[in-house]
């Protein structure tokens, strides 16, 4: 299992557009991918789950990836988050 923490720096947090990009990126992999925020964990392949977290600017999220392509999945998701939302 891979795990990484990110700080969201986008002024609007994780809203519809970046959430869609993250869900689409996670959907490219076989691995199970979760986003953790504020004591909740959701499937990163679920737009409703990601949006339900209401992640604001400055929030710290954790992404966990487990499966046969977890290395590639974490690399891709990390790149997508850094390009769209933060560090």
Q: Cβ(4)–Cβ(79) under 8 Å?
A: no
How far apart, in whole angstroms, are the C-alpha atoms of residue 55 and residue 78? 17
Catalytic residues: 15
Sheet containing 2-7: order of strands: 2-7, 60-66, 32-37, 40-43
Give, to the nearest 10 degrees, the angle between helix 70-84 and helix 16-26.
Answer: 160
């Amino acid at each position: 299992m891979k795990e990484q923490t990110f700080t969201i720096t986008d002024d609007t947090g994780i809203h519809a557009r970046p959430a869609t990009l993250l869900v689409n990126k996670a959907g490219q992999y076989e691995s199970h991918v979760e986003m953790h925020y504020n004591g909740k964990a959701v499937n990163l392949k679920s737009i409703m789950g990601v949006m339900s977290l209401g992640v604001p600017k400055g929030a710290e999220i954790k992404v966990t990836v487990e499966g046969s392509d977890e290395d590639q999945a974490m690399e891709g998701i990390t790149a997508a988050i850094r390009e769209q939302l933060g560090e």
